[in-house]
Each structure stands twice: as structure tokens, then as C-alpha cells.
């Protein structure tokens, strides 16, 4: 029999362990403590290992005491570990120092295309004024793109929209299928399918037969707006669009509201805003010699358009507007080349 | 339309600056796109009209001369001159030292420096066009008209501003100087002085000289002509040449120049025929006969067809009506007598003919825009009187004026309230009347109703709204108040697909993906590279594509995004690239007979390639693969609250063993996998794994509709975790195992945490460790309960797949 093992030695080991534990204030020290009592060669472990050599008559009592001590120490260990983990003890910084100047874990950041961002801003501005989003087809009939909008075939006004035609011939030998040149065909589609009052916003891709350069793209986004009801006036068109510009550009940019011609509105409007000036260089990166940049065409919906969709122009009136999204993004962010939008160079896209 | 301000001033007094004038016109609907200033730099004391008194040879240079130039006030200066055309007696543009001129040596506009040229002092110069900024010519000096007053500042003599007006298609009346003058008058409170149309005629009645017949009065509303005999064809006087040049017209001879001048003045195209070249003195306005040809003034011989209207004599076509004259009846040096045509041709027919022949002339441009027949006699008389003045000759008595269906002038009745109803602004009756009167309208007021008749030159006034715009634009849109929409917001359901699409975009960027947007059209070659040309649907073809790169509407986004990936890999080597696009593909029915538009289907596509993380000390560089793409896809479905699963799949452009179809609610709604290297090579993407996912959003929208996230109660009882290290045949799928595990009602979740492969496993076996979380909503689980659940699960796995626990 090993005379070292008796109830007293166990009590001693236990008491010493608990005493030491009270002073431990770091996890590394706690682990050292664990090893010295509960580890493979720990003092309590050694006692338990040698239980077999204890005479039978004492073994039961000593064994139970040793096991209780082990459970107690394990419980205290867990408890102390939690205490340390929760406590913000200053002692941790002494033996555990980071180079805080190193960069953090590399998360990958995605981002939205600038056109999407701009579309969202525009949509948000108008939805706060009660406009709801609707969408429509990009491939259209000339009936919707032109005829119903008071732009008859063989009229020179059609030259205002250089059109990409699609390979399709109908029963009458006509080729009426095209890529929509503006979002305005949705005016007719919406009015055909709904009764006034109407207040909608139509974002979408449009296409024109156009050679690309720094200010022209054959593919672009437009946002169309349409408000129809009883007693809607030009003053409200003006109010709506002024508020929109304020939402997007803030109070500083000036607005020009001038007469213009679009066959589907009367009176017609061209809205321009003062050119973008780079705050750092004081220069205008876009159309540097222009004071005003056109961003939007608008007007009161032409009575012929109302008649074409079966509305009574004596009862209903309203306004419509259409704007180029990239153009607005260019003016907002100072982008000097529209071709950047759809060339999808990450060095461009990542900036937004 | 170029508008020289000096010409404009012939009809209306202008006292405001050019820039203010341009601003007013622009705001009122005639956009002035630019102002060209002639002689902007000519200082009045530096650049003056000189009179060449003497030209002597330069003693040291054959090509140079020494000119003595009189500048009046008894001042004369000797300068060296290089222009070979300098002669004694000429009036020239003389520049003193210090004048700002274009320097042809430095190609800059800078002050003139006095110089010694080959030993002779030259304290100034006789200018050519280029130095004055008038043109490109510097081979000759500019010779001024004989009556140019010596010593006058050149700017006072010939300085000018030219406005570039962008006239909208509804305002052909403003394709004329007089039309613009009328706008200016209304905008500035002035009146217009119209030209004098009186001239002296002979006693010889015109009917004896020419007969006119309109065969098709639908295509020619009005045709009038005058005959002038004994004209002398010469160059036009300098003032006329100058004004035409400033307005962008070539000068030809006095008669042709006058017809052009009057066209620009009134907006009414005219044509001059050589009277002696008209067979039988007979003009017939008729459609061309099949096979007829016309040698046109631009030198082209054109084949005509019966859709085209001609001006013919008793035998042959003389001109294409409203478009271009023919060479046979052209006015030339030999011409003795002329017929001046002033007519009104049908806009649609003119446009169709011009388009068919690929011609766009000043005349066709105006006729297409439907000018008024009322202009016809006025322009004719104006041209006749100018010809008598500048080319001599005698005008026959009267004009021929064939006007078969003279329309009645109609008036619009508009209540005063209409203005308020459209504009939302109070405009007084007096203000309305005065504005319309200033624009040339006839206005009378009967109580609260206006009776309004538009002036003879306007074609665009048809309805009350047109009149409202007239008033608003002249008063100024700035004067109209600004109000917010006051009616209640109408209810309409917000676009479901729009909202969902934006949610998906947000999920994408949260997953580290960059959004791209590419062209909706592509090349057939691009479709072929992703195996969609021969195997896919027939793409919709663009009839008039701008380039071969954009000849068809895309039937897949795969080609678009791989092209984008290719170009980005080129500019950023070994960069982590994650791209996505949400866009449409265009699918046409095989039988396009049903008058239906092609289907536009929205697709989400993404590609991932390169290192998983941006370069960092914190992580070891590892490359993205199938599972990176799958992670993003899973995120979409989790966020939307939808369940998805992946099953092995074959796709023509994908790796045969690393591709899955994406199933949701039992529907195949997409593909996920690594792209085959043969396909990547075609895009010049080399030695890199590219993973792709593609989801049919239309199907996703349909499945998602009506599915909302639901709250499930949180269990208050603790979880217990066990790891199952399982060994099984390689053909057994992890998803099938998990399905068995998760089916047990005490299992909350299971996650594969380790894939183990070792030689200690027998051939054809693999091992995956799953961490299984047990939890009950009713009680704390005892060890016995968990043991029971575990053995039940293992028993099922054993029975179904022969799966064993790894020891």
C-alpha cells in the first residue's frame, strides 16, 4: 500500500488546488493549473491511478473522495474558465498582443451596377410621391412605340427615334416589330388595361440605332412616368419634376423648364439641369461647354393619345415624362463616358 | 437651320444681346444649339477695311509683294503681302500690329507681331480668310466688295452672329428666317416687317407663255409659277452671297441663289427652270411612268417609279417634285428666260420618295413637314421681284396659280377656363389675347370664349391644347406655378417581379457578387461559343444591326457574362472575380405567325473565378470552385424562404462531373457547375476554374408567389450534438443521407463537417462526418433518448444505403 494515499492527502491536494485557482487570472495560467492537477501526470490523476494499490477496506472510501475531488475541480475549472472568458481582465493584453495595423479578414464586397443604383434612387423619389412601378416588353409593335403615341408612320417626327427593327413580317407584309426606342409605349399599354386614376413609373431598357460615343449608347435605361386623373395640370407636372430633381441632386442644382416638342404631349417640356462641376477641379467633365444638360422630356398627355386608348380627354388629363437613367447618373457622379456603363469593367463598377 | 442675326434684323428690330436672344428662343421651344460669332476677335481699332493703293514687287522675294494700303484719315501703310491675288484698287481686310488673328505658322489665335520679312518692315498685314477666322483658305487674300468703306472697322462692316436653331418637326414655319423673326417679335414685343412683294410686269399675260396641269391633286395641293424673260445669269451680288454662305448654302448663280434665298426667307422651297428647255411650254405635275429616268442636279441618273411625283413637260420629267431638279432644265449661263416654281407637295409622298431614293434636300425636308399652301404665292412674288432686281429681264403679267382644293380657314373656340384647366395657372384674358396677337393669330373674345384663327404660316395648331402651349411658351414656363399632385394616390399593386428582383440583387451583393449589365443583342458567334446557336432556339434577328457584334437578340446570358469575365481577367490578373447579371433573354415561337411578341424571360446568371479571397496575410490563397457558386445560390433560396436541392446534371458547356441542376419545388429552375475548359478556351480564359450558376427567374417568381416566411416557435430545451462519421459507397449522395437523418423528429439539423478519404477505406467507399443536432420542443433530451434516435437513424441508413459508422 502506498501510504501517501489517504484521505488527508486528497484533502490537501484539493485545498491547494482551490487556493491556487483563486489567484489565476489568465487562460494560459488556468491551463497550467489544469495540467498540474487534472492532466495526465496531474497530482489528482496520479492519486486516482494508484487507487488499485489501496487496501480494499479503504479503497471504497478513498476512491469516492478522490472522485468527488476530481468532479469538484473539473466543475471549478469550467466555472473559472467562464469567469475568465467573460471578465475583461487587463492581464490578457500583457501576454497576448496583436499588430492592430494589419488589415482585417478579407470579406468580399459585392455592389450594384450604377444604372441599378440610379434606377433605385429615381424609383424611390417617385414612389414617395405615390408612383408605383410597372414594367413592359422591350420588343414592341410599332403601334405601341409610335402610332398610339400620335406618331404616325411617314411622319418626320419618327426620325426623332432612330429605330432598330426586328426580322418579322406580318400577314399584310408589314414589318411592325422593333426594339422599343423609349419606355413610352407602356403609357398606352397601361391605359388600355386600367381605368383612371393612374400614377405609375416604368423603368426599363430601351434601344436606338445609334453609333456609340462618349455621350451616346445604343442601349440605355429610361424611366417613364404617367399620372392620369381628373383635373391634373401642368403646374403639378412642374411640381412633381422639381421635387424629383431635389431628391436626386439636392437643392443646389438649377433647373431649366422649357418648351419642347414630343408628339404624344401638349404642351411639351424639356427639362435640363445645370451641368455637373467637379468640386475639386472646378471643371465640367461632361459636355464641358454646356451650361445646361437635358435630362428629361415631359408634357401633358396629348388628347389624341387619350382618345387612342379610349379615355375621354374632356374628363381626364394627366402628364407623362421620360428620362435617361445613365445621363442622370453621369451628371450625378461626373462620369464622362457613357460607354463605361455596359462595358462592365470592374475597375468602373467597383466605384459605385 | 443657321440664322445669321444680320439677316434676321432685316425683319425685326433686335436690341438684346445674341446670347439673350438665343436664351429666349430656346426657352420658347426653338432650341439654339450654338452661336457662331463672326469677327469675335476683330478689335475695332486693329482690323479695318483697307484700300490697296499700290502693289510693288518685293526686292528680295519673287512670291512676295509690297502693298501700300490706305486706311483713310490720310494714313497709309506699307506692308509685305504673300497673297498672289492682291491688286491695286482692291478693298481688303487690314490688320494692325496687335490684332488677334489666327497664326498659320503656330496654329494658334494670337496677337500679330510687326516683323521684318526678307529685309522689309511689315507693321501689319493684308488678311486671308483663315487669319480672320472666316474659313480655311489662306492661299489668297480676302477681297472685299468695292463699296466697302475704307477705314471702317471690319467688325462693323461684316461682323455677325449665326444662331444654330434646332427646329422641332412640328414647326416647319421656323425653318425660315421670317419664321424665326416672328418668334423673336412675339418674344420681345416688336413687330415683323415683311418683304415688299410688288414688282413691275409686262402686258404679256403669263397664260400665253406657259400652261400648268396638276394630274394628281392629292399629291400637289397648289402649284404656281411666274415667267421672267431676258434674264442675265451672273454671280449674285456680294451681300446675297454672304448671307447664303452664313446660312450654310452654296452659291451658284443669281437666279438659283435667289430661289434659295427666298426658301430660307419664307421656308417655301422654289425651283427655277430654264424656260426654253420646257417642251411645248407645258408643265404637268404627274406621277412618273415606269421606266422613266431623270438626271438629277446632284449628278445622279435616277430610275423613277409610279409612286414618285414628277414635274414634267409635254414629254419628259424635268424634276422630282419637291425634292430635286433635273439637269436638262437647269438654269445655266446660257439661260435667257426662267420659270419659277412655287408649289406645295404632299408630305407623305415626298418623304417616301426621298427615302426610297436616299435623298434628303432642303426642299424635301420642308415638304415632309407639311408647310402651308398659303406660302406659295408670297414666296413666288418675292423671288420674281428679286430676280427682276438682280438678274434683269421682264416678268410676264400675273402668275399661274393652280389651287384645286382650297381649304377653308377654321377657327378654334376655346373657353377662357381651358387655360387654367390645362396649366393650373390664372392667365388673364388680356394676356392671352395679346400673346396670341403677337404671334400673328386672329383673336376675338365673346364673353368667356375665345375665337382663334392661327396665322397662315402655322401648321401645328389643331386643338385647344396647342393654343394653350402657345400662350404658355411665350409667357414662359417659369411663370407657371409649381404644385404637388393633390389627388389621392391611386392604388395599384406594385410590380411583384420588380420587388423580388431587387431583393435578389441585394442577396447577390451580400454574397460578394458584382452586378454587371450587358447588351441585349449579341453576335451569332457569341451564341455559338456557348452552344446556343445550333442547339438553342432561333434568335430574333435585328434587320438593321449597327454591327455584326449586335446582330441578334440574345437567347442566353451565358455568352454575355463569359465575355465580361474574359475582359475583366485581361485587365486584372489573379484577382478574385464574382460577377452576376439579371437580364432578359428573347425567345421567339417557332411559328411567328400568331402576331405575338417574342417571350422575354428574365434570367439570373453568375460566374466566380480566381482566388476565394483578396490577397491577405490572414488566409491561405485558395481558388474558387463549384461550391463557391453553390454557396451563393443557397443564399438566394434561404433568404427567399424556399427549399432547393441539387442533382447531378449534364450540360453541353459544363464539366461532366461537376454540374448540377437546381431543383425547387420539384421544378428544374437552373444550372450550377464548373464550365468546361474547351468553352473557356474559346473566350480566351485559360488555366482557371470558372463556376457558374444560372437561374430562370420567371420560374422562381412563380414558385415564390404566395410563399411567405413563417415564424416557428423557438425550443426552450437544450440541444445535444453528436458526430456521425459514416462510410458508404461513392455513388451514394450526401443529400440522400441527410434526408434520412433529418427525417427523424428529434433531429433539428445536420451538417456535413468533414469529408474523409484515406487508403484505409476500401476501394469505392467514401466517408463523411455529419454533425447532428438533436433537440425536442417538449423536453430535455436524455442520453437514452438520443442513443435510441441515433441507432434508429443508423439502422435506416444501413438498410437503405448500406452505410456503416467509421470507428
Q: Tell me the pLDDT tens digit for each residue of A158-211.
A: 988 999 999 998 888 899 999 999 999 999 999 999 999 999 999 999 999 999
Cβ density class B692-731: b for 16+ within 10 Å, e for less = bbbbbbebbeebbeeeeeeeeeeeeeeebebebebbbeee
Cell of A253: 442644382
Cell of B222: 397648289
Annotation marks residue A208 as catalytic: yes
Kindly state whether B182 is in contact with chain A, defined as any CB-CB distance less than 8 angstroms.
no
Coil, strand or helix at A24? coil
d(CA B712, CA B776): 13
d(CA B643, CA B703): 11
- Residue B775, Cβ neighbours under 10 Å: how many? 16
pLDDT value of residue B645: 92
The residue written with cell numbers 441542376 in the block is B661
pLDDT value of residue A90: 54
pLDDT value of residue A91: 55
* CB within 8 Å: A110 and B368: no
With 60 as the cut, is the pLDDT of residue A93 above it? no
Considering the candidates A34, A180, A182, A189, report the single residue annotated as catalytic. Answer: A182
What pairing do the DSSP bridges indicate for beta strands B324-325 and B220-229? unpaired
pTM for the whole structure: 0.85
Annotation marks residue A320 as catalytic: yes
Distances (CA, A) of B36 to A137, B46, B130, B241: 44, 21, 15, 18
Q: Bridge-partner residues for A205, per DSSP?
A: A221
- B493: Cβ contacts below 8 Å, ≥ 6 apart: A132
d(CA B137, CA B145): 18
Phi, psi of B142, rounded to the nearest 5 degrees: -80, 125
With 70 as the cut, is the pLDDT of residue A94 above it? no
Cβ density class B376-392: b for 16+ within 10 Å, e for less = bbbbbbbbbbbbbebbe
Nearest-by-Cβ selection for A105 from B168, B472, B618: B618
With 90 as the cut, is the pLDDT of residue B705 above it? no
| pLDDT band at residue B477 using 50, 70 and 90 as cut-offs | very high
pLDDT value of residue B233: 97
| pLDDT band at residue A10 using 50, 70 and 90 as cut-offs | confident
The residue written with cell numbers 467688325 in the block is B155
Q: What is the DSSP letter of B711?
A: -
Cell of B520: 441585349
| pLDDT band at residue B507 using 50, 70 and 90 as cut-offs | very high
Kindly state whether B616 is in contact with chain A, defined as any CB-CB distance less than 8 angstroms.
yes
d(CA B793, CA B774): 12
- Tens of pLDDT, residue by residue over B143-178, are 988 888 899 999 888 889 999 999 999 999 999 999
- Residues above pLDDT 70, as percent of chain A: 95
d(CA A103, CA A113): 27
* CB within 8 Å: A234 and B422: yes
Distances (CA, A) of B674 to B509, B562, B599: 21, 13, 28
ipTM of model:
0.88
With 90 as the cut, is the pLDDT of residue B565 above it? yes
- B37: Cβ contacts below 8 Å, ≥ 6 apart: B18, B159, B160, B161, B162
Cβ density class B210-241: b for 16+ within 10 Å, e for less = bbbebeeeebbbbbbbbbbbebebeebeeebb
d(CA A148, CA A187): 9
Q: What is the mean pLDDT of chain A?
A: 89
d(CA B115, CA B668): 86
Considering the candidates A59, A81, A143, A208, report the single residue annotated as catalytic. Answer: A208
Cβ density class B737-773: b for 16+ within 10 Å, e for less = bbebbeebebbbebeeeeeeeeeeeeeebbbbbbebe
| pLDDT band at residue B764 using 50, 70 and 90 as cut-offs | confident
Lowest mean pLDDT of A4-8, B148-152, B555-559, B793-797, name the range: A4-8
Cβ density class B89-117: b for 16+ within 10 Å, e for less = ebbbbbbbeebbbbeeeeeeeeebeeeeb
Annotation marks residue A351 as catalytic: no
- Tens of pLDDT, residue by residue over A147-166, are 999 999 989 989 889 999 99
CB of A218 within 8 A of CB of A207?
A: yes
pLDDT value of residue A4: 61
The residue written with cell numbers 404637388 in the block is B484
Considering the candidates A141, A180, A222, A245, report the single residue annotated as catalytic. Answer: A222
Nearest of A264, A115, A282, A80 to residue A203 by alpha carbon: A115
| pLDDT band at residue A24 using 50, 70 and 90 as cut-offs | confident
| pLDDT band at residue B228 using 50, 70 and 90 as cut-offs | very high
What pairing do the DSSP bridges indicate for beta strands B220-229 and B400-402? antiparallel
Chain centroid offset of residue B395 CA:
47
d(CA B621, CA B315): 88
Nearest of B605, B566, B572, B573 to residue B685 by alpha carbon: B566
With 80 as the cut, is the pLDDT of residue B604 above it? yes
Q: Which helix (H) or strand (E) holds B638?
A: helix B626-640
CB of B692 within 8 A of CB of B705?
A: no
* CB within 8 Å: A260 and B31: yes
- Helix ranges (DSSP H) in chain A: 7-23, 27-38, 43-49, 56-86, 92-95, 114-127, 142-145, 185-193, 234-249, 303-308, 325-333, 340-343, 346-349
Name residues 299-358 of chain B within 8 A of A (Cβ): 347-348, 351-352
* CB within 8 Å: B490 and A199: yes
Half-sphere exposure of B319 (CA within 13 A, CB side): 28
| pLDDT band at residue A95 using 50, 70 and 90 as cut-offs | low
CB of B515 within 8 A of CB of B561?
A: no
Nearest-by-Cβ selection for B519 from A104, A130, A219: A219
* CB within 8 Å: B571 and A341: no
- Tens of pLDDT, residue by residue over A44-89, are 888 888 887 888 888 888 888 888 888 888 888 888 888 877 765 5
Average pLDDT for B33-50: 90
* CB within 8 Å: B481 and A235: yes
pLDDT value of residue B488: 87
- Residues above pLDDT 90, as percent of chain B: 80
Annotation marks residue A265 as catalytic: yes
| pLDDT band at residue A2 using 50, 70 and 90 as cut-offs | very low
d(CA A170, CA A174): 5
pLDDT value of residue A53: 81
- B61: Cβ contacts below 8 Å, ≥ 6 apart: B117, B118
Mutation choice for A interface testing from B32, B165, B464, B490 by most A CBs within 10 A: B490
Amino acid at each position: 500500500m502506498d501510504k501517501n494515499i489517504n484521505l488527508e492527502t486528497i484533502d490537501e491536494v484539493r485545498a491547494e488546488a482551490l487556493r491556487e485557482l483563486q489567484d489565476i487570472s489568465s487562460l494560459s495560467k488556468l491551463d497550467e493549473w489544469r495540467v498540474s492537477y487534472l492532466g495526465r501526470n496531474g497530482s489528482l490523476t496520479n492519486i486516482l491511478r494508484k487507487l488499485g494499490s489501496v487496501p480494499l477496506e479503504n479503497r471504497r472510501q478513498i476512491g469516492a473522495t478522490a472522485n468527488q475531488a476530481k468532479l469538484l475541480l473539473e466543475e471549478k475549472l469550467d466555472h473559472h474558465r467562464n469567469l475568465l472568458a467573460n471578465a475583461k481582465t487587463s492581464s490578457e493584453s500583457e501576454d497576448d498582443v496583436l499588430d492592430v495595423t494589419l488589415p482585417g479578414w478579407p470579406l468580399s464586397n459585392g455592389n450594384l451596377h450604377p444604372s441599378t443604383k440610379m434606377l433605385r434612387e429615381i424609383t424611390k423619389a417617385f414612389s414617395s410621391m405615390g408612383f408605383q412601378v410597372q414594367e413592359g416588353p422591350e420588343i414592341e409593335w410599332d403601334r405601341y412605340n409610335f402610332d398610339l403615341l400620335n406618331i404616325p408612320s411617314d411622319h418626320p417626327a419618327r426620325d426623332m427615334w432612330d429605330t432598330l427593327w426586328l426580322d418579322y413580317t406580318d400577314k399584310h407584309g408589314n414589318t411592325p416589330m422593333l426594339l422599343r426606342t423609349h419606355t413610352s409605349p407602356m403609357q398606352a399599354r397601361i391605359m388600355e388595361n386600367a381605368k383612371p386614376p393612374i400614377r405609375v413609373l416604368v423603368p426599363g431598357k430601351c434601344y436606338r440605332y445609334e453609333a456609340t460615343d462618349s455621350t451616346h449608347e445604343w442601349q440605355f435605361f429610361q424611366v417613364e412616368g404617367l399620372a392620369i386623373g381628373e383635373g391634373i395640370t401642368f403646374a403639378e407636372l412642374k411640381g412633381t419634376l422639381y421635387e424629383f430633381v431635389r431628391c436626386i441632386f439636392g437643392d443646389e442644382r438649377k433647373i431649366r423648364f422649357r418648351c419642347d416638342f414630343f408628339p404624344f404631349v401638349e404642351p411639351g417640356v424639356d427639362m435640363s439641369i445645370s451641368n455637373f462641376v467637379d468640386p475639386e477641379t472646378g471643371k465640367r467633365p461632361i459636355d464641358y461647354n454646356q451650361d445646361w444638360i437635358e435630362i428629361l422630356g415631359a408634357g401633358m398627355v396629348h388628347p389624341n393619345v387619350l382618345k387612342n386608348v379610349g379615355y375621354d380627354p374632356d374628363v381626364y388629363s394627366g402628364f407623362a415624362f421620360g428620362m435617361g437613367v445613365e445621363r442622370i447618373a453621369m451628371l450625378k457622379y461626373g462620369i464622362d463616358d457613357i460607354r463605361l456603363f455596359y462595358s462592365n469593367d470592374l475597375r468602373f463598377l467597383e466605384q459605385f | 437651320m443657321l440664322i445669321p442675326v444680320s439677316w434676321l434684323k432685316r425683319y425685326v428690330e433686335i436690341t438684346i444681346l445674341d446670347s439673350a436672344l438665343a436664351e429666349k428662343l430656346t426657352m420658347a421651344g426653338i432650341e439654339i444649339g450654338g452661336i457662331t460669332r463672326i469677327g469675335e476677335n476683330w478689335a475695332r481699332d486693329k482690323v479695318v477695311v483697307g484700300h490697296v493703293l499700290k502693289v510693288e514687287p518685293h526686292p528680295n522675294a519673287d512670291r512676295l509683294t509690297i502693298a501700300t494700303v490706305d486706311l483713310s484719315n490720310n494714313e497709309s501703310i506699307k506692308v509685305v503681302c504673300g497673297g498672289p491675288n492682291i491688286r491695286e484698287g482692291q478693298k481688303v481686310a487690314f490688320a494692325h500690329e496687335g490684332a488677334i488673328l489666327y497664326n498659320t505658322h503656330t496654329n494658334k489665335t494670337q496677337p500679330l507681331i510687326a516683323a521684318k520679312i526678307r529685309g522689309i518692315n511689315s507693321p501689319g498685314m493684308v488678311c486671308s480668310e483663315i487669319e480672320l477666322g472666316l474659313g480655311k483658305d489662306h492661299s489668297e487674300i480676302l477681297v472685299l466688295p468695292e463699296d466697302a468703306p475704307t477705314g471702317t472697322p471690319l467688325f462693323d462692316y461684316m461682323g455677325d452672329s449665326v444662331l444654330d436653331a434646332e427646329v422641332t418637326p412640328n414647326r416647319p414655319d421656323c425653318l425660315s428666317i421670317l419664321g424665326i423673326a416672328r418668334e423673336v417679335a412675339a418674344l420681345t414685343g416688336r413687330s415683323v416687317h415683311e418683304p415688299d412683294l410688288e414688282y413691275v410686269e409686262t402686258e404679256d399675260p403669263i397664260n400665253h407663255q406657259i400652261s400648268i396641269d396638276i394630274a394628281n391633286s392629292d399629291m400637289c395641293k397648289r402649284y404656281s409659277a411666274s415667267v421672267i424673260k431676258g434674264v442675265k445669269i451672273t454671280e449674285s451680288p456680294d451681300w446675297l452671297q454672304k448671307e447664303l454662305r452664313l446660312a450654310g448654302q452654296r452659291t451658284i448663280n443669281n437666279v438659283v441663289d435667289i430661289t434659295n434665298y427666298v426658301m430660307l426667307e419664307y421656308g417655301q422651297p422654289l425651283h427655277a427652270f430654264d424656260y426654253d428647255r420646257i417642251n411645248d411650254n407645258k408643265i404637268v405635275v404627274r406621277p412618273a411612268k415606269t421606266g422613266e429616268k431623270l438626271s438629277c442636279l446632284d449628278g445622279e441618273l435616277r430610275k423613277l417609279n409610279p409612286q414618285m411625283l414628277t414635274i414634267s413637260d409635254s414629254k419628259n420629267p424635268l424634276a422630282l417634285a419637291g425634292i430635286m431638279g433635273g439637269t436638262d432644265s437647269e438654269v445655266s449661263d446660257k439661260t435667257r428666260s426662267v420659270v419659277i416654281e412655287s408649289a406645295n407637295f404632299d408630305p407623305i409622298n415626298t418623304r417616301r420618295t426621298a427615302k426610297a431614293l436616299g435623298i434628303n434636300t432642303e426642299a424635301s425636308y420642308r415638304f415632309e413637314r407639311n408647310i402651308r399652301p398659303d406660302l406659295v404665292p408670297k414666296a413666288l412674288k418675292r423671288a420674281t421681284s428679286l430676280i427682276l432686281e438682280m438678274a434683269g429681264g421682264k416678268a410676264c403679267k400675273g402668275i399661274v396659280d393652280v389651287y384645286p382644293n382650297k381649304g377653308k380657314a377654321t377657327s378654334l373656340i376655346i373657353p377662357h377656363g381651358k387655360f387654367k384647366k390645362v396649366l393650373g395657372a390664372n392667365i388673364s384674358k388680356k394676356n392671352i389675347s395679346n400673346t396670341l396677337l403677337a404671334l400673328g393669330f386672329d383673336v376675338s373674345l365673346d364673353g368667356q370664349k375665345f375665337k382663334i384663327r392661327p396665322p397662315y404660316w402655322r401648321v401645328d395648331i389643331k386643338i385647344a391644347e396647342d393654343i394653350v402651349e402657345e400662350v404658355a411658351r411665350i409667357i414662359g414656363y417659369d411663370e407657371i406655378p409649381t404644385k404637388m399632385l393633390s389627388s389621392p394616390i391611386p392604388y395599384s399593386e406594385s410590380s411583384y417581379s420588380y420587388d423580388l428582383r431587387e431583393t435578389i440583387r441585394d442577396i447577390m451583393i451580400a454574397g460578394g457578387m458584382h452586378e454587371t449589365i450587358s447588351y441585349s443583342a449579341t453576335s451569332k458567334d457569341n451564341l455559338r461559343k456557348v452552344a446556343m446557336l445550333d442547339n438553342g432556339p432561333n434568335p430574333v434577328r435585328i434587320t438593321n444591326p449597327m454591327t455584326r457584334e449586335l446582330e441578334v437578340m440574345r437567347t442566353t446570358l451565358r455568352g454575355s457574362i463569359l465575355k465580361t469575365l474574359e475582359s475583366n481577367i485581361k485587365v486584372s490578373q489573379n484577382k478574385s472575380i464574382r460577377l452576376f447579371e439579371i437580364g432578359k433573354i428573347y425567345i421567339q415561337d417557332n411559328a411567328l405567325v400568331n402576331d405575338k411578341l417574342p417571350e422575354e424571360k428574365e434570367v439570373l446568371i453568375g460566374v466566380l473565378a480566381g482566388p476565394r479571397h483578396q490577397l491577405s496575410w490572414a488566409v491561405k490563397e485558395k481558388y474558387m470552385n463549384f461550391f463557391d457558386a453553390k454557396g451563393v445560390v443557397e443564399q438566394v433560396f434561404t433568404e427567399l424562404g424556399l427549399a432547393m436541392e441539387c442533382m447531378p446534371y449534364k450540360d453541353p458547356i459544363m464539366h461532366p462531373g461537376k454540374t448540377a441542376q437546381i431543383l425547387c419545388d420539384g421544378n428544374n429552375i437552373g444550372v450550377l457547375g464548373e464550365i468546361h475548359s474547351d468553352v473557356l478556351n474559346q473566350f480566351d480564359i485559360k488555366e482557371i476554374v470558372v463556376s457558374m450558376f444560372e437561374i430562370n427567374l420567371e420560374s422562381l417568381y412563380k414558385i415564390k408567389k404566395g410563399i411567405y416566411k413563417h415564424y416557428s416557435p423557438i425550443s426552450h430545451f437544450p440541444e445535444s450534438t453528436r458526430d456521425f462519421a459514416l462510410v458508404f459507397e461513392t455513388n451514394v449522395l450526401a443529400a440522400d443521407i441527410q434526408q434520412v437523418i433529418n427525417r427523424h423528429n428529434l433531429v433539428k439539423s445536420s451538417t456535413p463537417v468533414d469529408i474523409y478519404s484515406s487508403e484505409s477505406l476500401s476501394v469505392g467507399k467514401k466517408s463523411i462526418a455529419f454533425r447532428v443536432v438533436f433537440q425536442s420542443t417538449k423536453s430535455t433530451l436524455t442520453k437514452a433518448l438520443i442513443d435510441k434516435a441515433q441507432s434508429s437513424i443508423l439502422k435506416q441508413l444501413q438498410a437503405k444505403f448500406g452505410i456503416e459508422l467509421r470507428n
